[in-house]
Amino acid sequence: MKRLNPFAKKAPTVAVVRLQGMIAAGGRGQLNDATLAPLLEKAFAKGKPAAVALEINSPGGSPVQSALIGSRIRRLSEEKDVPVIAFVEDVAASGGYWLAAAADEIFADESSVVGSIGVISAGFGANVFLSRQGIERRVYTAGESKSMLDPFKPEKAEDVARLKRMLEQIHQNFIAHVQSRRGEKLADNDDLFTGEIWIGSQAKEVGLIDEIGHLVPVLKARFGDKVKLRRYGIKRSMWQRFGASLAQDAVAGIEERAQFARFGL
């Protein structure tokens, strides 16, 4: 029978938080601040971890939710004095990269897709189809901007200009976040903030990541072979998976699949 040695040094623990999927407010199984808050709070607080590792595989999504999650990660890291290391899997693009930039260090695979520091708004126009079917769109508002970019009405130049101004403001917020987090690591590259993407070692060359590396080997090299990994991730109940939310989740799944497909994944 082994004797317990109260003076024996305990193996360090690293909390591993999985950030998988689209970033969207309120979606079941999707990444948002409300869903991740209890996971992140527990990851940083339980057992005084040596570090928190973020496993990121996200094509992006809501800029506001990205900012909220990123800010929470930074606040907890500073309050608990715990470093954060991000590990990119298939993709950390757009909002996914916003989350990665919240870490103190970023690792990626040689084939990981990284970057896409830009903002996009996509929609559709069906006014011609409706007119051909003899359907008239009727909209009544109080406020001339209340029906901006109605997909069932002809597009207005002033609406497009207003939307582009909004997108530019959000884009500048994104740029400021990356610059504040990556600082002098960023290369002087004209394409860095154009929405361009980089793969593996190219991402390292432009300063979007620090090194090529995978989670387990990197953590063992840094904290020893006996490092313990405590994993956290979003879990869905049986009711959410097989109950009344099936249709909603199916639509969300199609949308997420489309977002990943933008990067050839």
* pLDDT tens digits along 197-213: 999 899 999 999 999 99
pLDDT of residue 85: 98
| pTM over the 0.85 mark | no
pLDDT at 27: 61
Residues 134-161: b if buried by 16+ CB within 10 A, e if exposed: eeeeeeeeeeeeeeeebebeeeeeeeee
CA distance 223 to 105: 15
Q: Count Cβ atoms within 10 A of the Cβ of residue 72 and give its class: 0-12 exposed, 13-18 middle, 19 or more buried.
A: middle
**pLDDT computed for residue 130 by the predictor:** 67
pLDDT digits (tens, 9 = 90+) for 58-67: 999 999 999 9
Q: Chunk the chain into consecutive blocks of 10 residues (it has 265) and report each block's average pLDDT, rounded to whole numbers.
A: 58 95 80 95 95 96 95 98 97 96 98 92 72 76 74 78 90 96 94 94 96 97 96 69 48 56 53
Q: Which two tokens stand for residue 52?
A: 């928190």
Q: What's the distance, Cα to Cα, between the start and end of the chain in Å? A: 52
